[in-house]
A and B are shown apart, each in its own frame.
Chain A
Amino acid sequence: MAILEILKYPDPRLKQESVEVETFDDELQRFLDDLEETMGDGPGAVGIAAPQVGRFERIAIVDVSSKPKLLNHGRMFLINPEIVEWDGLAVGREGCLSVPDYTGNVVRAERIKLRYRDRDGNEIEIETEGYEARAVQHEMDHLDGMLFVDRVVSRRHDLFRRKHYKQPGER
């Protein structure tokens, strides 16, 4: 096992799109162990994606079981993950191992149905919501070369937007 180096923004490699995993071999297992150890080394991280350590394959780990009050599916090794359904929007604050010393509010789907392969290549489908769903979406963004800083919103304008409805007779 080894702790891998985490790429830090503005490293242009973080913007790279990752490719699907084709083979579930021993080398993949060793990488997953290293990725897991690297996540554990980060300060309070509940997820990590392979591109954050410079491997551009669609692989992520999410584990929010450190928040026992919240819905969680334990430690999930997400390989070739896909969101097949989503519902609702929620705002939450996010930070990232690749963007130290910054947090920001991001809008994510509240509930998702997720399809992925586990570390042995078995197809899994789960439904999750809230904090865990947020973590999954944050990690999946990395696989598409997207960082949460690209999605940060201002409460003033995005969450409680002042709408002007036309009054009767108004043109």
Chain B
Amino acid sequence: MIDVDPSLVNWSRAQFAFTAMFHWIFVPLTLGLSVLCAFFELIYLKTGNEEWKRITRFWMTLFAINFACGIATGIILEFQFGTNWSNYSWMVGDIFAAPLAIEGLFAFFIEAGFFAVMFFGWNRVSKGFHCFSTCMVAVGSNLSAVWILIANAWMQNPVGMLFNADSARFEMNNFAEVVFNPVAIAKFTHTSSSCFVVGATFVIAVSCWYLIKKRHVDMARKSIVVASVFGLVSSFFVAFTGDESAYVIGQKQPMKLAAIEGLYKGERGAGLVVFGIVNDKKVAGDAQDAFLFEVTIPQALSVLANRELGSFVPGIDDLVYGNAEENIMGVNTKMEKGKLAVADLTAFKQAKKDKDADAAEEALARFNVNEEFLGYGYLDTPEEAVPPVSLVFNSFHLMVVVGTFLPLIFGAFLFFSLKGTLMEKRWLLPVGIFSSVLAMLAQQAGWVTAEVGRQPWAIQGLMPVKIATTNLSATAVQVSFTAFAVVFSLLLIAEVSIMLKAIAAGPEGHRK
């Protein structure tokens, strides 16, 4: 048994989740709106029409407000690593140092240089250089996200590293493997394109509000055309990268895919659940139905997971208890190997303490045999390896449903804009405003799927969250959680009110 208070683990997780979700209110808008600002300015550069300059400057102001609101909200996550997740942050320090340092450098050079030109440089540098700076801010913002996502992807699929038993750290031995981790590539392309969709819905939402109020009509209509084209193209890219993301999950994190689809019994030619009501009482290994009701597309899950009709997709029961026929090792077997790894690591530590070099070497050699199962050695039961199926299933399907509707909304706005009848379709304008909420909801649901779906792991297969956490009192985490929640709620109110004031003031109200 592990002597960590479960409520401590849950509070630490809740605090991290709350902070990350708060941070992720601002990040998608920064990434999406930065690219849209670049498009608006490119149109200005191409046409020389001052109206496009006015449009560009207005959206840049909202971009700046969002950027300022989002600044440093991620720093709290780093504080939490040091306070609540000290074992984890020590062990991954060597892996995360390089990507996070590169991200910091990117941010510094962009913010000190191109960002300044973007906001201070109107009429002071050439139009071309100004536009180039805006494009660089968009590129740089998105590239700095790459490094964070590489770090996240490593936790989902730890590659390019060795475990140093002396220092108790994972050490990077192949930078390229870490950077080109297939999970990282799928995660970045899917995340960034979905952020573009968020940016597009934001522009449409604000523009629709102006159209409802009959203010800044020309600017709003022009903005809607650009945003709906951008949103539509990005939506298709989201679908394409989402498919790749699901494939990678199927290959690298089959338990997550099984939870996403509520699949307990693996099968050949597995169907994809389009809609379903999960049976909350169902647990791994029992005979209950996984769903109270479901609609499936035959074969589609096999194609999604393996790119092959009729291929086998393992279910939760196969992964927990093993399936010899399909050559799948169960969690129960992995636990035995993991416990050997932990015992050998203990023997190594003792031998080092006793200054017995030979015994230490032998223990380390034995440890290396089962090293990849280390995390399983800390599980109490095989069923502990199963994430909360209902939450993962529902959040994934919420994301997909919203992701399916958004291209239709973009398409409708583009169609009626080009036809010149947008103002006659008054019913569409509130839909445009609501689309921004939907896109943000889909973003959050996507991250819930990704992060809850990999539970109980902090590092897939190597470190469960209950080992990653610092052995503090749950009360200490509750106090810091409350302090953080109060401070950030107040800041959020202040920041949202600045944004709303800027929108209410419109393009005439702001310069820098």
Do they bind each other? no
Give me the interface of A with B, judged by CB distance under 8 Å. Answer: none
Give me the interface of B with A, judged by CB distance under 8 Å. Answer: none
